[in-house]
Structure formats: C-alpha cells, structure tokens
Structure 1
Amino acid sequence: MKYIDFHCDTLLKIIDEKGQSLYSNTVASVDFKRLKKAEAMAQFFAIFLIDKDTLEEKFDSDDDYIKKLAKILKDEVAKNNDIISMAYNAEDLIKNYASGKVSAFLTIEDGRSVDGKLEKLDEYYDLGIRLLTLTWNYENCFGYPNSEDLDIMNKGLKPFGKEAVEYMNHIGMIIDVSHLSDGGFYDVAKISKKPFIASHSNSRELSPHPRNLTDDMIKILAQKGGVMGLNFAPQFLNEDISLKDSKVELMVKHLNHIKNVGGEDVLALGSDFDGIGGNLEINSSDKMYLLFDALKKYGWSERLIEKLAYKNAIRVIGDIL
C-alpha cells in the first residue's frame, strides 16, 4: 500500500552521525532505501529547530542551520534520483510517482526563525519549504504552544501569527497546528481560507496529552478540509501517557475514533519517526504495512485504507500548494 507520511525528524538524526546517509542508515527509522521498499509515495522531512544554545555551537544562526539541512536533503535526493525526487506541489508528487519515485517534501518544525517577518516566509518558500509547524513547545512570534498550563493553552495567535496565516494561504504553504495551543488552533480555523493540517497529532479523548486534538478540534479540522496525521509516539497513543509502548492496536483505536468524530476525509499519517522513542511496534518506514494489515483485519475496506494512506493527503496538498 503506497502512503504519504506528513512528519519525520530524520534530518536531525543524520546530521551528527558520521558514515550515515539518507539513502541507507542504521541510526534512524527512515531512509530512501526503506521508503522505496515500503512503496512510500511521499515523505515530509522536517527541519526541527533545536534549542538555541546547541544550535549556536555549530551554526551561525537559525537560517544557517535551516539552509544546511535543506542542502543535505536536496544533495542526497540528487545523488539518488533514480528512486527519489524533491516535490513542491501535487503535480510533482503525481509525476514522481508515475516515474516510480518517492517524493521528498521539506518542512520546518517551529516558526521561531521567522522572527515576525513575512519576507522570511518568502525566503523559506524559495528554499523549497512547503509546510511550517507554527510553534514547537515554546512561545514564538506566531503564538503559544500546547501546554498543561491552561492560561498558556487558551492563548491565541499573536497579531503577527494572524497576519502570517493569511500570508501562508496567499503563497501556498501548509499551515501545521501540531504543537500549537488550543487558542491558536481556533484562531487558525477562524482565519485560514484554505485547509490546514495537524501533521502529527492524535485524539485527546483517548490519550489526554495536550499535544492531541479534542473532538471539537477534529470536527473543525474536518470541516475546513484539513487532515490530521496519526502520530506513532507512545505518549500520544496511550490512555496513560507515561506508558512507553506504541502498539498497532492503539493506532487502530485512534483512527476509528478520529473517523467516527471527523469522518473519513480527515484521516492521514504523521509517524513522527526519529522524533519519538519507546517500544515501537512500527519502528521503521518499511514496517508501515503492519498498520494497513491490522486495519484490514479490523474490517476497514481497501477504499478507506487508501484515503488514510495517501488519497486524503494528495487532496490537501493539491488544495494548498
């Protein structure tokens, strides 16, 4: 079953590992070789903004770091162009697949480097960035993060964040609300004229982590034409968020709940590979079939699995990019 995964942190794993590559490696859950074996249609590669102190030990600035990680991905894709190509829109995605190639999309996780300047979004777009996760776990120019502190959780987007949502709609960049505060989510839903996504978030009803979405959010996301990518992290799957086991059975439970609340068009995948730990039943991109096989056993039709795996994602990519 071909699939599209909206989020992995593999670039962060590779950058400090000598002798490892994006084509094939022993330190990460994702590489080009395994993506091809798994019949992946597309992988979204996140440039995760590491903490400032660590970053400044090796890089001149956030932008220096972003450009260097983007270059690593593009260079490795160019070396392996027989099996993978960069993609910047739905047309590229379809063209690459027709040529037997996986598509690689570039994203940024944490908009802190935008620094309140709309022209930075233009620069990142020109660099090839097609998705921006507005916040990570800290306040930035867009707004506030998910939090157990209700005062923070209820805060909405800052004035720049509201302006940036409209601008991202205009230039064609995917707005990602995973990690955003609840107040920020509702502001995005109110302001955005295009669909938006939660690239790697699950159901808060089943797993009460603030990173997950409430049923009300799932319904609104679906009404806006967006999708939410199933996250494989144990703390976003289990009812007890301290547990360390990520099981396919839990994934199926979340997907059934999300489908029942938001409908089948909101379903997507966002593994969070290489950004998560624990005892992962699916710990590599070439084991994605385990989820699809389980869904068949639980009575999911081929048509419904295809919507989860890639069809909903293609629709959203086409609507936004």
Structure 2
Amino acid sequence: MHLNSIAFAAGIAILAAPVPAATPEVSGKARAIHERVLTFDTHLDTPANFSRPGWDFAEGHSLSRDFGQVDLPRMKAGGLDGGFFAIYTPQGPRTPEATAAARDAALIRAVEIREMAARLSDKVELAFTADDAVRIAAKGKVVVYQSIENSYPLSADLGLMTTFHELGVRMMSPVHFLNNDFGDSSTDPKGPEWNGLSPLGRRFVAEANRLGIILDASHASDAVLDQMLALSTTPVILSHSGCKAVYDHPRNVDDARLIALAAKGGVIQMNAYAGYVAKLPENPERDAALKALYAKMGNRHDMTPDRVAELVRERDAILARYPGSKPDFDAFMKHMLHALKLVGVDHVGIGLDWDGGGGVEGLEDVVDIPRISAALLVAGYTEADLQKIWSGNVLRVLRAVEAAKAK
C-alpha cells in the first residue's frame, strides 16, 4: 500500500474509459484459458476505497476519473475471480494512544469489507478456507479472502490476532515501510532496529502458526524473512514482491532467499509497483510539483468525487509538463519469468498491489491482467501451470496452514 507517495503519483497511467474492453494483444485462445483458470491476486488494497465518499465497489471506476484500479465491473472485464483484500494501516507512532487508534481503524476496515460482502451478497462472498474458493467461484461470485498489511494495530495486544482470524483474516504481514514492534522493515531509512524479528515478532510467528494464518514477509527486511522461514512451521508467502536479481531494490528478494522460500513450500507473488520493477527516471521538478499538489489537496480518501476529479486534472497537468517514462509490461514479466525459472511454477504467484500503487505501462489496472496469462503461454507455460500461478499455489499454502492448525 503506497497511497499518495510521490512514486505512485508520478507513475500512475491514464485509462480512457471506466471499463475498457479486453486487451487487444490477448488472443481468443489465451483469453479462453485465462477465463477457465481460477485467478486470484494476493494483494488488493481496494478496501481503502470502501469509505471514500461516493465510491462504490459495485460501480465501474477508472484511473482517469478517481484513481481506482479494481471494482466489480472491471474484475469481470479482466477475468479476476478474487483474492486477498487487504486491511492496511500505515505505520504510526509506537505509543499506546496511536496504537489504539490504529487498532480501531483496522477493525473498522474489517467491518467495511464484511459490509461490502453483505450488501453485494449476490455477487461477492467471503472465503475462510481453501475449499471455499472453488465453491464460491462456481456460483459466479467474487471470492474475498482478507489479509492484514502491517500488524502495527496488533502490537499492543497479540490476542487481537484471534479477533481478526475470527473475522476472516487468513494472511498477515508484520511490518510495512518502517520498523515497528514486530521487526525490521526493508525500507526504514534508520536501518535495522531488531536485526530481524523482535521478541514480540517471534511470538507473532508462533501465534500465526497456531491460528492458521499465512505469514506474509513482503515489506520485511531480509533478516525478518530469514527468521520467519526458520521459525515458521508452515510455508511463508511474499504477497507482493519482486526479484532483486532483476532490479536491486530493498523491497525485492535475492535468489538465495527465493530458493530458501521455495524449499519451505513458500511462494513469491509478483508485484507490479513501478518503483520496485525497475529504476524510475528522476525528475526533481516533477516530484516537487506533485508533492506540493498532494500537500494542498490532502488525503484523497476523504475527498468528494468532484474533489478527486480536480486532483486528477491537476496531477495530469503536472505530468504533461514533465513527461517521463515508467517501467513497462515487459519489465514486469522479467521478474515473473526470472522467478519461474529459478524456483519453478509451484512457487510463483501474482500480487500486483492494485489500489496501492501497482501498475506499469501496459498493466494499468485489473482489466489488463489477461496479458499476464497470454505472456506466460507465449513463454511456454501450460494451462495447468497458469492454474498454479494464479491461485493453486496460494491455496496450497492455505491448506498447509489449515492442516498445521488442525494438528
């Protein structure tokens, strides 16, 4: 989740219509295979939009109108059957008051997800087990698993893990951009605080194993990933990450750790956040103008639709004055194909970071995802391989977590 970051603001692209047609480059055969495969994305930040004034998940939206990348009409257009809807909380002060506020915000977000599913019960259904996925998809409904990105809201009371599990959360990550009480982030400018997991973070791992929650190491430092792999009795997932061998960024993971992840049965879900896919062209003037715009406009999630449209217009004007490039679809595929070659089809999936800053040229929102299936088919992967990549691998991990809990 990277809302309002400069890299997100500079890297976002424009769609011409709320629900465009299928991507022309995808052949009819590739599209048919894509439609047959059960398709999940393991990191959808879309719940951040649920409380926006005038925003409705059931209606078609667009990047050019309100920044949205995922909604029900576009999921249908892109052939996405569901995934993990994130309860994201930005890292704040580590004080009792701030932690309590973060706890309340996370609980409210969980309620918003449940309210959305209840309101749209003819189109959407909450999933709690691996077996729920096929059952719900067979009814033509969107499959909604829940995850927590950044467990900061839980740091004052680890018992809240039980609360969120009962609400349906089946995946949790300990940290985000900054270090917290659970462990070290890969991107904290202060560097490591705990040299991996804190004592509380180690208890977090054990509690996730006990409850049947998938451990997510995206955003965590290399040392945290190492220790999670060593401590966890179940496979670990990187819900939205990339390959350091393709682009050397702290958020990406090196080959040795990817091999270790796979050896424990884990999966890397490929991220499409432009700043982690490839080095972005620098433009200090553009970035300063965007920073000033966001400072003036405030948090877009509190804005009316008209105010959001004004923000989009002013942002587009800035980008027109300072044209630049961002990584393209082929750059994204380099990460995916590298991971597939390195660890095989049993250990690679997809988590594009939609509505959290994800997207590259040619992969702008959920409508474009058939391109991934088409590119994989061109690269020689089969329909059975695509089934594993799009959902089979994450469901295998969820079953492993369920089995460990049952013991």
TM-score, scaled relative to structure 2: 0.73
Deviation at 1:253, TM superposition (A): 1.4
Partner amino acid, structure 1, of 2:383? E
Closer, same or farther: CA 154–296 of 1 in aligned 2, 3 Å: farther
Report how far residue 91 of structure 1 moved: 1.8
Aligned partners of 1:174 and 1:265: how far apart in 2? 17
Instruction: In structure 2, give the amino acid aligned to 1:23.
Output: A
What's the offset of the Cα at 1:92? 1.5
Cα pair 1:235 1:241 within 8 Å, conserved: no
Q: How does 1:115-126 map to 2 (within 5 A)?
A: 115-126=155-166
In structure 1, what is the Cα distance between the partners aligned to 2:400 and 2:91?
Answer: 33
In structure 2, distance between residues paired with 1:97 and 1:141:
38
Does residue 13 of the first structure (1) align with residue 53 of the second (2)? no
Compared with structure 1, are the counterparts of its residues 38 and 82 closer, same or farther at alpha carbon in structure 2 (3 Å cutoff)?
farther
Which has the higher mean CA deviation after the structures are superposed, 275-284 or 227-236? 275-284
1:46 aligns with 2:81: no
Partner of 1:56: none
Task: Specify the code of the residue in structure 2 equivalent to 1:8.
Answer: L
2:382 alignment partner, one of 287, 301, 304: 301
User: Structure 2 CA distance, aligned partners of 1:308 and 1:170?
Assistant: 27
Superposition pairs of residues 283-294 of structure 1, within 5 angstroms? 283-294=364-375
| Amino acid across the alignment from 1:21 | D
Q: 1:74 to 1:47 in 2, by over 3 A?
A: same
Q: For residues 94 and 84 of structure 1, do their structure 2 counterparts lie closer, same or farther at Cα, with a shift above 3 Å needed?
A: same
Counterpart position of 2:393: 312
CA distance in 2 between partners of 1:308 and 1:266 (Å): 8
Query: Deviation at 1:13?
Result: 3.2
State the Cα deviation string for residues 221-267 of structure 1 (Å, max 9, x = none): 10111111110111221156868524221222111111122122111
What residue number does 1:131 align with?
171
**Is 2:119 aligned against 1:79?**
yes
Gaps of 5+ in 1: 54-58
Is the radius of gyration larger for structure 1 or structure 2? 2
Structure 1 residue 167 corresponds to structure 2 residue 210: no
Which sits farther off after the overlay, 172-181 or 44-53? 44-53
Name which of 88, 110, 126 aligns with 2:128: 88
CA RMSD between the two structures: 2.6
C-alpha spacing 1:111/1:148, structure 2 compared with 1 (3 Å): closer
Shift of residue 42, structure 1, vs aligned partner: 2.1
Per-residue deviation, 1:171:
0.5
Q: Deviations over 1:2-51 (max 9, x none)?
A: 31100021122342x32111122423111122223333232211111135
1:200 equivalent in alignment to 2:281: no
Does the 8 Å CA contact 2:280/2:327 hold for their aligned counterparts?
no
Q: Is contact 2:106-2:153 (8 Å) kept? A: no
Q: C-alpha displacement at 1:298, in angstroms?
A: 2.6
- Is the CA contact 2:219–2:251 (under 8 Å) kept in the aligned structure 1? yes
Q: Percent identity over the alignment? A: 26
* Alignment of structure 1 residues 203-218 onto 2, 5 Å: 203-218=243-258
When normalised by structure 1's length, the TM-score is 0.91
Q: Partner residue of 1:69? A: 109
The one-letter amino acid of 1:230's match is M
The count of corresponding residues between Structure 1 and Structure 2 is: 318
Change (3 A) 1:225 1:244: farther
Structure 2 vs 1, CA of residues 153 and 282 (structure 1 numbering), >3 Å: closer, same or farther?
Answer: farther
- The one-letter amino acid of 1:43's match is G
Quick one: structure 1 residues 148 and 119, their matched pair in 2 at CA, closer, same or farther if it must change by over 3 Å?
closer
AA of the residue aligned to 1:293: A
Q: Residue 301 of structure 1: CA displacement?
A: 2.2
